[in-house]
Amino acid sequence: RLPGLQRLCREVRAPRAGAMRVGARPGMLLLLPPGTPFSARAGQQLRPFPGFDGPASARRPEGGVVGQGGAEPLEPAGRGERGSPVSHGVSVCFQEAGSLCLALALLFPVAVGLEFSYHPSEQLGTFLKEVHRQHPSITSLHSVGRSVAGRDLWILVLGRFPTQHTIGIPEFKYIANMHGDETVGRELLLHLIDFLVTNDKSDPVVTRLIDSTRIHIMPSMNPDGFEATTVHDCYYSEGRFNKNGKDLNRNFPDVFNSNNVTIQPETQAVINWIKNETFVLSANLHGGALVASYTFDNGNPATGSLRGYSRSPDDDVFMHLAKTYSSNHASMYKGNECGNKPVFPYGITNGYAWYQLQGGMQDYNYIWGQCFEITLELSCCKYPPASQLQAFWNDNKAALIEYIKQVHLGIKGQVLDRHGQPIPNVIVEAKGREHICPYRTNQHGEYYLLLLPGSYVLNATAPGSGSILKTLIVPNGPENFSALKYDFVFPEVSTIARDASCPTKPLYQDFESISAAVKPTLHFLALMTVLYTVFK
């Protein structure tokens, strides 16, 4: 509306191969000095700002050169190809007023946008850095380690207190691209980040999530495998493995069998990350099927494997978590969307019931991380065309958000002494749901137990101080973005709590051997009972 200044709002893309591509968002500004080439998609009209009165030639949808309305149109840049750079949502300022246009541009921050295309590792890192630069108050960015080839394993953390754990705020994580050729989850998590940062303070659900949760997002656990996948295949490629040729989802310590694997750098980085945080809930994004799979992935007779199902003590919670995702997905709940896969009722499955695997990440999280993790298979095709990515985002967006909310299921609180000081390493569990590696309080004396609504008896056992039992009625926490809060207070603590973490060995093997030893005795007793009854 200022004299001599012409502004147009539209999508702009540089025509050179591999150049930065720009996706417009209303109200955002980009300076293009005279002589700058630009191109536009066919069929889209240039929309001037109110008050625009520039020449009609500047409104041409085909593009041209800034300041040269009669120039020949340029070819639109290709869309959706592997290697297209991160785009930035901006508008175009067709500069005719020189310094006046520059001064105005300084008043309009350029916002991050994101194309629906596959982003190589360098561009993925650039995008995450730009998100953090533009949203420093609600994001934190760090690398938890490096891949075999030296690529960063980036983590973007979102929350009102993103840089460190806050007492009472549960920790949540998403991990994708563990298999390098399973690519949809990688791009979905980038778009989830974009959605969360751009909707904070405007969307009430997003705002409450960021207020109440610390959300960790690792878009790629296997960047080497992604970069090695040169042929896009729906079923299999060498990019599944890391650079050492190892399957990262068979590379974790196993609770049932000694898998004798060499822990890879990517796996060790995730193990260390899990140990350094108090994760409560997690999901691992894969491809090649459309189903939500839950622990256990491995099993033995102690967990019901003889019946083809390996059941955890929290099987009902895991089923709820899997159904939460599948029912909020556009079609996963149907259970039969991939013609070459089994039918999955409600779009969920117990991992062992589908197929057995050793050294899986979700079992490791549950046993040694005190974190409930499920595996989300999000596409029938492992590496689909980039042109389908927007549809995948539309199918998964609601489910990704609703699943994060489930971190607020159950009960949370602290265990304190009579002076109000936290007591670490106290066992806090619900009766009837004892874990083979007992769940303990962290260094802040905190505990988090994911439980469905209902009545539970909690048992807190402090070292040398006995136990406290408490019956609690658990409401539906996700509705209010908070689990029920209850603090245990021990009047006397006779010994100092020490680290009592479980060894990373096949803990269920002991149960299996005990069970096998008891069976002959039970059979003998049963036989004697029958004989006694007959002779009597």
> Could you count the other beta carbons within 10 Å of the beta carbon of residue 473?
9
Residue 92 tokens read as 């175009």
Alpha helices in 229-378 (DSSP H): 265-276, 315-328, 351-354, 361-368
Using CA atoms, how far residue 289 sits from 188, 251, 293, 516, in Å, is 16, 21, 10, 37
Work out whether strand 372-379 and strand 427-430 pair parallel, antiparallel, or are unpaired. Answer: unpaired
Catalytic residue, chosen from 11, 187, 377, 429, is 377
Residue 254 and residue 356 in contact, taking contact as beta carbons nearer than 8 Å: no
The identity of residue 118, as a single letter, is Y
Q: What angle do CA 225, 226, 228 make, to 5 degrees?
A: 65
Q: How many angstroms separate the CA atoms of 272 and 364, rounded? A: 12
Count of CB atoms situated within 10 Å of the CB of 259: 16
Residue matched to tokens 């459309």: 290
Backbone dihedral angles phi then psi of residue 254, each to the nearest 5 degrees: -110, 140
Cβ within 8 Å of residue 152, ≥6 positions away: 121, 125, 143, 146, 223
Query: Is the N-terminal amide bond of 161 cis, ω within 30° of 0?
Result: no
Can you give the length of the chain in residues?
Answer: 536
CA 269/CA 221 separation, integer angstroms: 9
10 Å CB burial of residue 274 (0-12, 13-18, 19+) is buried
CB within 8 Å of 46: residues ≥ 6 apart? 8, 9, 10, 40, 58, 59, 60, 61
| 429 catalytic residue (yes or no) | no
8-state DSSP, 289: E
Helices and strands counted in the chain (H then E): 12, 25
- The rounded distance, in Å, linking the Cα atoms of 505 and 254 is 7
E strand segments, 159-232 = 171-176, 214-218
Q: What is the crossing angle of helices 184-199 and 389-405, to 10°? A: 60
What is the dihedral sign for C-alpha 341, 343, 347, 353?
Answer: negative
The amino acid sitting at 226 is: F
Cα separation of 386 and 16, whole Å?
20
* Amino acid identity, position 127: F
Amino acid at 68: Q
Give catalytic residue positions. 377
